[in-house]
Amino acid sequence: MNFKQKHPETCLAKCLMILLEKSRNQKISDKYELELLIYSLKYERENIARGHLEKVVKDFNVRINWYADSKIFFNFVKKMKLPKHVSLINEKINLRMIDRILEKPIILYIDRFCIWKKEWGLYYKYHYPHFIIVNKRIGDFYEIIDPDDGKIKKVEPNKLSKAIISLRNHL
């Protein structure tokens, strides 16, 4: 299975495709990655994630729980007409919450700077929002799939926590 995104702004699309392929044990066309992004661009620019989720539930008849950390963002999204297969939940996103719902892999929105600042040249200098998959917890680490380079990595809990908090506070 290829975990690497093909386009610079398709990390959410690729994460959704990876989870769909794993759960259905079926290959999804690489074209779908760009289709998701293009479909999503018709929505408010503050929230193209809604378009991604709407297309996935329509195309694959799946249920999605969408956790919104911010009450303001939750209320913003709540006013939109979401598909009935998307449940919007307002809950603080932190490691405790991740551990509680991590029965299956989950997609997490983070500030990539906090996790890879020492390892990656370009990303060392910039804060940038990014979607990853938290696959599972293994002892003192989380195993993640990073669609940017397509690699499976181990991340320390404190780095993952900083990435969540930095997204919330800076981005």
As a whole number of angstroms, the distance between CA 34 and CA 39 comes to 8
Q: Sort strands 86-90 and 64-68 into parallel, antiparallel or unpaired.
A: parallel
As a whole number of angstroms, the distance between CA 169 and CA 15 comes to 23
For residue 120, what pLDDT is reported? 45
For residue 112, what pLDDT is reported? 83
For residue 121, what pLDDT is reported? 41
Domain locations in the chain as residue ranges: 1-64, 95-171
For residue 161, what pLDDT is reported? 94
The sign of the CA dihedral 120, 153, 156, 11 is: positive
Which tokens in the block code for residue 50?
């809604």
For 8-46, letters b (16+ CB in 10 Å) and e give: eebbbbbbbbbbbeeeeeeebeeebbeebbebbeeeeee
The tens digit of pLDDT for each residue in 90-116 reads 999 999 999 999 999 999 999 887 766
What mean pLDDT is predicted for residues 55-75? Answer: 96
Specify the pTM: 0.92
As a whole number of angstroms, the distance between CA 144 and CA 6 comes to 18
Are 72 and 35 in contact by the 8 Å Cβ rule? The answer is no
Q: What average pLDDT does the structure give for the chain? A: 90
Residue 53 neighbours by CB distance under 10 Å: 21
For residue 124, what pLDDT is reported? 52
